[in-house]
Chain A
Amino acid sequence: MVSKPSENEGSAQAAPVAVKILVAGGFGVGKTTLVGAVSEIRPLQTEELLTDRGVGVDDTEGVEQKTTTTVAMDFGRITIRDGLILYLFGTPGQDRFWFMWDELSYGALGAVVLADTRRLADCFPAVDYFENRGLPFLIAVNCFDDGYDYRPGEIREALDLSDTTPVVLCDVRDRASGKDVLTTLVKHLLAVHEAETQAGASAL
Protein backbone atom coordinates (compact mmCIF):
# COMPACT_ATOMS: atom_id res chain seq x y z
CA MET A 1 0.00 0.00 0.00
CA VAL A 2 1.59 3.22 -1.10
CA SER A 3 -1.46 5.37 -1.62
CA LYS A 4 -2.73 7.48 1.21
CA PRO A 5 -6.37 8.18 1.86
CA SER A 6 -7.31 11.15 -0.29
CA GLU A 7 -10.35 12.50 1.45
CA ASN A 8 -9.30 15.99 0.44
CA GLU A 9 -9.83 15.44 -3.24
CA GLY A 10 -13.59 15.34 -3.00
CA SER A 11 -13.76 18.65 -1.21
CA ALA A 12 -11.29 20.16 -3.66
CA GLN A 13 -13.73 19.48 -6.45
CA ALA A 14 -16.66 20.79 -4.49
CA ALA A 15 -14.88 23.94 -3.31
CA PRO A 16 -16.39 27.02 -4.90
CA VAL A 17 -14.42 29.54 -6.89
CA ALA A 18 -14.27 32.99 -5.34
CA VAL A 19 -13.62 36.18 -7.30
CA LYS A 20 -13.59 39.77 -6.14
CA ILE A 21 -14.37 43.26 -7.30
CA LEU A 22 -13.21 46.29 -5.33
CA VAL A 23 -15.30 49.31 -4.45
CA ALA A 24 -13.07 52.33 -3.91
CA GLY A 25 -13.52 56.05 -3.46
CA GLY A 26 -13.21 58.76 -0.86
CA PHE A 27 -14.43 58.58 2.71
CA GLY A 28 -18.22 58.82 3.00
CA VAL A 29 -18.93 58.44 -0.71
CA GLY A 30 -21.17 55.41 -0.19
CA LYS A 31 -18.92 52.39 -0.69
CA THR A 32 -20.51 50.29 2.02
CA THR A 33 -23.99 51.40 0.94
CA LEU A 34 -23.30 50.18 -2.58
CA VAL A 35 -21.91 46.88 -1.29
CA GLY A 36 -24.97 46.47 0.93
CA ALA A 37 -27.41 47.31 -1.87
CA VAL A 38 -26.28 44.43 -4.08
CA SER A 39 -24.95 41.94 -1.53
CA GLU A 40 -27.00 38.89 -0.60
CA ILE A 41 -25.79 39.23 2.98
CA ARG A 42 -25.60 42.24 5.24
CA PRO A 43 -22.08 43.61 4.69
CA LEU A 44 -19.53 41.92 6.90
CA GLN A 45 -16.50 43.59 8.30
CA THR A 46 -12.98 42.29 8.49
CA GLU A 47 -10.03 44.14 9.84
CA GLU A 48 -6.32 44.13 9.51
CA LEU A 49 -3.85 45.27 12.12
CA LEU A 50 -0.99 47.60 11.40
CA THR A 51 1.76 45.53 12.90
CA ASP A 52 4.55 48.00 12.27
CA ARG A 53 3.50 50.70 14.65
CA GLY A 54 2.42 50.61 18.23
CA VAL A 55 0.39 47.42 18.25
CA GLY A 56 -0.84 46.72 21.73
CA VAL A 57 -0.34 50.29 22.82
CA ASP A 58 -3.31 52.20 21.45
CA ASP A 59 -6.82 51.40 22.55
CA THR A 60 -8.65 51.46 19.25
CA GLU A 61 -12.14 50.74 20.51
CA GLY A 62 -14.73 53.41 19.73
CA VAL A 63 -12.53 55.58 17.56
CA GLU A 64 -13.40 54.13 14.16
CA GLN A 65 -11.79 55.86 11.18
CA LYS A 66 -9.29 57.62 13.38
CA THR A 67 -7.13 54.78 14.55
CA THR A 68 -3.67 54.13 13.26
CA THR A 69 -3.64 50.51 14.35
CA THR A 70 -6.57 48.81 12.64
CA VAL A 71 -7.98 49.03 9.14
CA ALA A 72 -11.56 47.92 8.68
CA MET A 73 -12.92 46.66 5.38
CA ASP A 74 -16.56 46.00 4.60
CA PHE A 75 -17.45 43.32 2.15
CA GLY A 76 -20.47 41.63 0.66
CA ARG A 77 -21.18 38.54 -1.38
CA ILE A 78 -23.14 37.62 -4.49
CA THR A 79 -23.58 33.97 -5.41
CA ILE A 80 -23.26 33.97 -9.20
CA ARG A 81 -24.10 30.29 -9.47
CA ASP A 82 -23.47 27.18 -7.47
CA GLY A 83 -19.71 27.12 -7.01
CA LEU A 84 -18.97 30.69 -8.15
CA ILE A 85 -19.12 33.52 -5.64
CA LEU A 86 -18.40 37.18 -6.24
CA TYR A 87 -17.09 39.19 -3.30
CA LEU A 88 -17.29 42.97 -3.20
CA PHE A 89 -14.68 44.61 -1.02
CA GLY A 90 -14.86 48.23 0.03
CA THR A 91 -11.37 49.68 0.19
CA PRO A 92 -10.33 51.57 3.31
CA GLY A 93 -11.31 55.22 2.91
CA GLN A 94 -8.01 56.55 4.16
CA ASP A 95 -5.27 56.93 1.61
CA ARG A 96 -2.54 55.99 4.00
CA PHE A 97 -3.54 52.36 4.06
CA TRP A 98 -1.99 51.60 0.69
CA PHE A 99 -0.59 48.32 1.93
CA MET A 100 -4.19 47.10 2.26
CA TRP A 101 -4.97 48.22 -1.28
CA ASP A 102 -2.16 46.05 -2.60
CA GLU A 103 -3.56 43.04 -0.84
CA LEU A 104 -7.12 43.81 -1.91
CA SER A 105 -6.14 44.39 -5.54
CA TYR A 106 -4.23 41.16 -5.83
CA GLY A 107 -6.28 38.86 -8.03
CA ALA A 108 -9.21 41.30 -8.25
CA LEU A 109 -11.21 41.26 -11.49
CA GLY A 110 -11.66 45.02 -11.50
CA ALA A 111 -12.80 47.99 -9.47
CA VAL A 112 -15.62 50.47 -9.08
CA VAL A 113 -14.40 53.95 -8.18
CA LEU A 114 -17.23 55.83 -6.54
CA ALA A 115 -17.19 59.58 -7.02
CA ASP A 116 -19.11 62.40 -5.35
CA THR A 117 -19.39 65.48 -7.54
CA ARG A 118 -19.19 67.72 -4.49
CA ARG A 119 -15.76 66.30 -3.68
CA LEU A 120 -14.50 64.94 -6.95
CA ALA A 121 -10.86 65.19 -5.92
CA ASP A 122 -11.47 62.53 -3.24
CA CYS A 123 -11.46 59.83 -5.88
CA PHE A 124 -8.19 60.94 -7.55
CA PRO A 125 -6.01 58.65 -5.40
CA ALA A 126 -8.11 55.60 -6.32
CA VAL A 127 -8.02 56.48 -10.03
CA ASP A 128 -4.24 56.96 -9.88
CA TYR A 129 -3.79 53.75 -7.97
CA PHE A 130 -5.77 51.54 -10.37
CA GLU A 131 -4.25 53.21 -13.45
CA ASN A 132 -0.74 52.58 -12.13
CA ARG A 133 -1.58 49.04 -11.18
CA GLY A 134 -3.27 48.32 -14.50
CA LEU A 135 -6.46 47.11 -12.86
CA PRO A 136 -9.48 47.98 -15.06
CA PHE A 137 -12.07 50.17 -13.36
CA LEU A 138 -15.03 52.40 -14.00
CA ILE A 139 -16.19 55.61 -12.40
CA ALA A 140 -19.62 55.46 -10.76
CA VAL A 141 -20.87 58.90 -9.85
CA ASN A 142 -23.10 58.66 -6.81
CA CYS A 143 -25.84 61.20 -7.44
CA PHE A 144 -26.41 62.86 -4.11
CA ASP A 145 -29.51 65.05 -4.06
CA ASP A 146 -27.47 68.18 -3.41
CA GLY A 147 -24.64 67.22 -5.73
CA TYR A 148 -23.66 69.19 -8.80
CA ASP A 149 -25.31 68.11 -11.98
CA TYR A 150 -22.37 67.04 -14.14
CA ARG A 151 -22.61 64.97 -17.28
CA PRO A 152 -20.41 61.86 -17.57
CA GLY A 153 -18.33 63.60 -20.26
CA GLU A 154 -17.47 66.42 -17.88
CA ILE A 155 -16.48 63.94 -15.19
CA ARG A 156 -14.30 62.09 -17.68
CA GLU A 157 -12.56 65.32 -18.56
CA ALA A 158 -12.14 66.39 -14.95
CA LEU A 159 -10.56 63.03 -14.07
CA ASP A 160 -8.51 62.90 -17.28
CA LEU A 161 -9.75 59.39 -18.00
CA SER A 162 -9.02 57.33 -21.07
CA ASP A 163 -11.84 57.18 -23.60
CA THR A 164 -12.50 53.56 -22.81
CA THR A 165 -13.01 53.93 -19.05
CA PRO A 166 -16.78 53.94 -18.46
CA VAL A 167 -18.41 56.70 -16.42
CA VAL A 168 -21.87 55.92 -15.09
CA LEU A 169 -24.29 57.76 -12.84
CA CYS A 170 -25.81 55.80 -10.01
CA ASP A 171 -27.72 55.84 -6.75
CA VAL A 172 -25.76 53.58 -4.39
CA ARG A 173 -28.84 53.00 -2.23
CA ASP A 174 -30.70 51.41 -5.11
CA ARG A 175 -30.14 47.73 -5.83
CA ALA A 176 -31.00 47.97 -9.54
CA SER A 177 -28.65 50.91 -9.91
CA GLY A 178 -25.86 49.06 -8.11
CA LYS A 179 -26.47 46.06 -10.32
CA ASP A 180 -26.14 48.31 -13.41
CA VAL A 181 -22.81 49.60 -12.13
CA LEU A 182 -21.49 46.06 -11.72
CA THR A 183 -22.75 44.78 -15.06
CA THR A 184 -21.24 47.82 -16.82
CA LEU A 185 -17.95 47.11 -15.08
CA VAL A 186 -17.91 43.43 -16.06
CA LYS A 187 -18.76 44.32 -19.69
CA HIS A 188 -15.82 46.71 -19.56
CA LEU A 189 -13.61 43.96 -18.12
CA LEU A 190 -14.62 41.69 -20.99
CA ALA A 191 -13.77 44.43 -23.52
CA VAL A 192 -10.39 45.02 -21.88
CA HIS A 193 -9.71 41.30 -21.81
CA GLU A 194 -10.64 40.95 -25.47
CA ALA A 195 -8.37 43.85 -26.45
CA GLU A 196 -5.49 42.34 -24.47
CA THR A 197 -6.01 38.93 -26.04
CA GLN A 198 -6.03 40.44 -29.53
CA ALA A 199 -2.93 42.52 -28.79
CA GLY A 200 -1.22 39.39 -27.48
CA ALA A 201 -2.21 37.41 -30.57
CA SER A 202 -0.98 40.02 -33.03
CA ALA A 203 2.32 40.31 -31.16
CA LEU A 204 3.08 36.63 -31.85
Chain B
Amino acid sequence: MTGPGSEWLDDEAGPIVRSYALTRGRARPATAEGFDMITIVSTAGQPRSGSPGIGPEHVDILEMCLNPLTVAEISARMRLPLVVVRVLLGDLLHHRLITAHRPQQESALSKERLLREVLHGLQAL
Protein backbone atom coordinates (compact mmCIF):
# COMPACT_ATOMS: atom_id res chain seq x y z
CA MET B 1 0.00 0.00 0.00
CA THR B 2 1.10 3.53 -0.64
CA GLY B 3 -0.03 6.94 0.45
CA PRO B 4 0.07 8.87 3.67
CA GLY B 5 -0.31 6.72 6.76
CA SER B 6 0.18 3.46 4.88
CA GLU B 7 3.26 2.63 6.92
CA TRP B 8 0.83 1.67 9.69
CA LEU B 9 -1.19 -0.68 7.51
CA ASP B 10 1.28 -3.41 6.62
CA ASP B 11 0.71 -7.10 7.35
CA GLU B 12 2.52 -6.80 10.65
CA ALA B 13 -0.21 -4.56 11.92
CA GLY B 14 -2.65 -7.45 11.77
CA PRO B 15 -6.40 -7.07 11.96
CA ILE B 16 -6.42 -4.68 14.90
CA VAL B 17 -5.47 -1.53 13.08
CA ARG B 18 -8.23 -2.24 10.60
CA SER B 19 -10.69 -2.68 13.44
CA TYR B 20 -10.02 0.71 14.89
CA ALA B 21 -9.84 2.27 11.44
CA LEU B 22 -13.46 1.18 11.01
CA THR B 23 -14.40 3.07 14.13
CA ARG B 24 -12.19 6.01 13.21
CA GLY B 25 -10.19 5.44 16.34
CA ARG B 26 -13.12 5.35 18.72
CA ALA B 27 -13.17 2.71 21.42
CA ARG B 28 -16.60 3.54 22.85
CA PRO B 29 -20.04 3.89 21.28
CA ALA B 30 -21.36 7.39 20.66
CA THR B 31 -24.48 6.61 22.68
CA ALA B 32 -25.05 5.73 26.33
CA GLU B 33 -26.17 2.23 25.34
CA GLY B 34 -23.48 -0.24 26.37
CA PHE B 35 -24.59 -3.13 24.12
CA ASP B 36 -24.41 -6.22 26.29
CA MET B 37 -23.28 -9.32 24.40
CA ILE B 38 -26.83 -10.67 24.42
CA THR B 39 -28.58 -7.38 23.72
CA ILE B 40 -30.75 -8.04 20.68
CA VAL B 41 -30.40 -5.67 17.76
CA SER B 42 -33.12 -5.16 15.15
CA THR B 43 -32.95 -3.04 12.05
CA ALA B 44 -35.38 -0.14 12.32
CA GLY B 45 -34.65 1.87 9.20
CA GLN B 46 -32.48 2.35 6.16
CA PRO B 47 -29.85 5.05 5.83
CA ARG B 48 -30.45 7.83 3.36
CA SER B 49 -27.89 7.59 0.59
CA GLY B 50 -24.74 9.43 1.56
CA SER B 51 -25.55 9.55 5.28
CA PRO B 52 -22.43 10.91 6.96
CA GLY B 53 -20.61 8.38 9.12
CA ILE B 54 -22.46 5.36 7.71
CA GLY B 55 -20.05 2.98 5.99
CA PRO B 56 -20.30 -0.44 4.35
CA GLU B 57 -19.93 -2.20 7.70
CA HIS B 58 -22.89 -0.29 9.08
CA VAL B 59 -24.93 -1.33 6.06
CA ASP B 60 -23.83 -4.96 6.55
CA ILE B 61 -25.12 -4.85 10.12
CA LEU B 62 -28.43 -3.37 8.99
CA GLU B 63 -28.91 -6.17 6.46
CA MET B 64 -27.92 -8.77 9.03
CA CYS B 65 -30.30 -7.48 11.67
CA LEU B 66 -33.44 -7.56 9.55
CA ASN B 67 -33.75 -10.76 11.56
CA PRO B 68 -32.91 -9.70 15.13
CA LEU B 69 -29.46 -10.79 16.29
CA THR B 70 -27.46 -10.51 19.47
CA VAL B 71 -24.39 -8.30 19.68
CA ALA B 72 -22.22 -11.43 20.09
CA GLU B 73 -23.63 -12.96 16.90
CA ILE B 74 -23.06 -9.74 14.96
CA SER B 75 -19.46 -9.72 16.18
CA ALA B 76 -18.99 -13.36 15.16
CA ARG B 77 -20.55 -12.92 11.73
CA MET B 78 -18.69 -9.70 11.00
CA ARG B 79 -15.47 -11.22 12.38
CA LEU B 80 -14.96 -8.00 14.26
CA PRO B 81 -14.12 -7.57 17.95
CA LEU B 82 -16.94 -6.63 20.28
CA VAL B 83 -15.43 -3.25 21.03
CA VAL B 84 -15.61 -2.36 17.34
CA VAL B 85 -19.10 -3.74 16.82
CA ARG B 86 -20.32 -1.69 19.78
CA VAL B 87 -19.01 1.50 18.22
CA LEU B 88 -20.69 0.69 14.90
CA LEU B 89 -23.95 -0.14 16.69
CA GLY B 90 -23.69 3.12 18.62
CA ASP B 91 -23.54 4.98 15.31
CA LEU B 92 -26.59 3.12 14.03
CA LEU B 93 -28.53 3.75 17.22
CA HIS B 94 -27.58 7.41 17.07
CA HIS B 95 -29.05 7.53 13.56
CA ARG B 96 -32.11 5.58 14.82
CA LEU B 97 -31.50 2.86 12.27
CA ILE B 98 -31.61 0.07 14.86
CA THR B 99 -33.39 -0.75 18.07
CA ALA B 100 -31.53 -2.43 20.91
CA HIS B 101 -33.32 -4.69 23.36
CA ARG B 102 -31.31 -5.27 26.49
CA PRO B 103 -31.59 -8.53 28.38
CA GLN B 104 -34.38 -7.96 30.84
CA GLN B 105 -33.70 -7.72 34.52
CA GLU B 106 -36.53 -9.96 35.56
CA SER B 107 -38.68 -9.47 38.59
CA ALA B 108 -38.66 -12.35 41.08
CA LEU B 109 -41.85 -13.88 39.74
CA SER B 110 -40.89 -13.74 36.11
CA LYS B 111 -37.41 -15.08 36.88
CA GLU B 112 -38.99 -18.25 38.20
CA ARG B 113 -41.19 -18.49 35.12
CA LEU B 114 -38.18 -17.88 32.92
CA LEU B 115 -36.15 -20.63 34.62
CA ARG B 116 -39.06 -23.07 34.31
CA GLU B 117 -39.42 -22.29 30.63
CA VAL B 118 -35.69 -22.81 30.09
CA LEU B 119 -35.87 -26.09 31.99
CA HIS B 120 -38.80 -27.36 29.94
CA GLY B 121 -37.10 -26.27 26.74
CA LEU B 122 -33.92 -28.13 27.66
CA GLN B 123 -35.82 -31.24 28.66
CA ALA B 124 -37.57 -31.21 25.29
CA LEU B 125 -34.28 -31.16 23.35
Contact = CB atoms under 8 A, between A and B. Distances in A.
A121 interface: no
Chain A interface secondary structure, helix, strand, loop or mixed? mixed
Interface in A3-58: 7-8, 11-12, 14-20, 38, 44-49, 51, 55-56, 58
Of A48, A69, A79, most buried by chain B (CB within 10 Å of CB) is: A48
A109 B118 contact: yes
Nearest to A21: B118
7 contacts: A12-B99, A49-B82, A69-B16, A70-B81, A109-B115, A189-B115, A197-B112
Interface of B: 8, 11-17, 19-20, 27, 36-40, 42, 44-45, 68, 70, 72-73, 75-77, 81-84, 99, 101, 103-105, 108, 111-112, 114-123, 125
A86 interface: yes
A51 B122 contact: no
B76 A46 contact: yes
Contacts of A109: 115, 118
Interface in A40-99: 44-49, 51, 55-56, 58-61, 69-70, 73, 75, 77-81, 84-87, 89
A186 interface: yes
Interface stretch (A100-108, A111-119, A165-173): A100-108
Nearest to B99: A8
B76 A45 contact: yes
A190 B116 contact: yes
User: DSSP majority for the B interface?
Assistant: helix
A140 interface: no
Nearest to B38: A18
B72 A48 contact: no
Contacts of B38: 18-20, 87, 107
B121 A38 contact: no
A36 to B, nearest CB: 14
Closest 8 CB pairs of A and B: A80-B121, A44-B76, A18-B38, A46-B75, A59-B14, A15-B101, A186-B119, A49-B81
A78 B20 CA distance: 32
Interface string A117-146: 000000000000000000000000000000
A151 interface: no
Given A44-B76, A48-B83, A187 B14 contact: no
Nearest to A62: B14
A186 to B, nearest CB: 4
A14 B67 CA distance: 11
B118 A75 contact: no
B117 A84 contact: yes
B93 to A, nearest CB: 11
A138 B123 CA distance: 18
A104 B37 CA distance: 8
A87 B105 CA distance: 16
Given A47-B82, A107-B103, 13 more contacts: A11-B68, A18-B70, A38-B125, A49-B84, A78-B121, A78-B125, A84-B121, A85-B70, A89-B37, A106-B36, A107-B36, A190-B115, A193-B111
